[in-house]
């Protein structure tokens, strides 16, 4: 057993010689909260393991956790390809029911979360306000769009990392930006091209 900066851990090897960690049950939850683990070879057949958020570098400075964010780097605007949406749903654990439609010469996808699409009545505009609001809420809850996604959603990050350029929508060039985790951030854009900025006051 080796004492790390935070916990004591057992390090063992499987029959193939690969290293793995034996965690006491009471520490499993704490280690699930750690985004990254630092392995230090003690050069005596043992290792010291510590969650990265508790480590300090050789200069004594605390290591900073980072956050990944997906932005669009070209004119046009953020969008995911059909393959990108399917990959996002798979990583998110969602079941989608995609339906392809066509408006004039343009084909598009609608991603339903229910087997049967929600139909909007032809007389929607003449219905009472409360009824229109109910239909709108039901319609919105039954479908998902790429514009609804949180840009730091781990499922979105995983989909873009997995597919690369194949995740790009028709007029998009997606890129993953990594920033310090403790920064208040927002996405700014000009003509669809985006960048991540730290939030601040303007007058």
pTM: 0.66
Cα three-residue angle 80-100-175, rounded to 5 degrees = 5
Q: What does the pLDDT look like over 150-166, one tens digit per residue?
A: 999 999 999 999 999 99
Q: What does the pLDDT look like over 189-198, one tens digit per residue?
A: 999 999 999 9
Residue 15 is predicted with a pLDDT of: 73
Q: What is the DSSP letter of 120?
A: P
Residue 105 is predicted with a pLDDT of: 83
**Sequence ranges of the domains in the chain:** 2-54, 66-112+142-198
Residues in the chain: 203
Cα–Cα distances in angstroms (integers) from residue 38 to residues 27, 45, 48, 57, 132, in the given order: 16, 16, 8, 11, 54
Q: What does the pLDDT look like over 164-191, one tens digit per residue?
A: 999 999 999 999 999 988 889 999 999 9
Cβ neighbours around 69 below 10 Å, total: 20
Q: In which band, very low, low, confident or very high, does the pLDDT at 201 lie, cut at 50, 70 and 90?
A: confident
Residue 158's SS3 state is helix
201 compared with 142, residue with greater pLDDT: 142
């Amino acid at each position: 057993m080796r004492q790390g900066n935070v916990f004591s851990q057992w390090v063992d090897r499987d029959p193939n010689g690969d290293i793995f960690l034996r965690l006491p049950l009471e520490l499993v939850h704490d280690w699930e909260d750690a985004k990254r683990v630092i392995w230090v070879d003690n050069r005596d057949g043992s290792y010291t393991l510590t969650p990265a958020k508790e480590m300090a570098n050789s200069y004594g400075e605390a290591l900073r956790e980072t956050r990944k964010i997906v932005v669009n780097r070209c004119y046009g605007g953020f969008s995911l390809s059909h393959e990108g949406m399917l990959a996002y749903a798979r990583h998110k654990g969602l079941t989608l029911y995609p339906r392809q439609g066509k408006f004039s010469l343009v084909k598009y996808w609608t991603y339903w979360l229910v087997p049967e699409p929600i139909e909007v009545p032809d007389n929607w505009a003449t219905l009472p306000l409360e009824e229109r609001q109910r239909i709108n809420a039901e319609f919105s809850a039954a479908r998902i769009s790429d514009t609804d996604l949180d840009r730091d959603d781990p499922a979105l990050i995983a989909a873009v990392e997995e597919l690369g350029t194949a995740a790009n929508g028709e007029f998009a060039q997606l890129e993953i930006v990594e920033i310090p985790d403790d920064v208040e951030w927002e996405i700014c854009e000009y003509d669809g091209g985006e960048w991540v900025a730290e939030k601040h006051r303007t007058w």
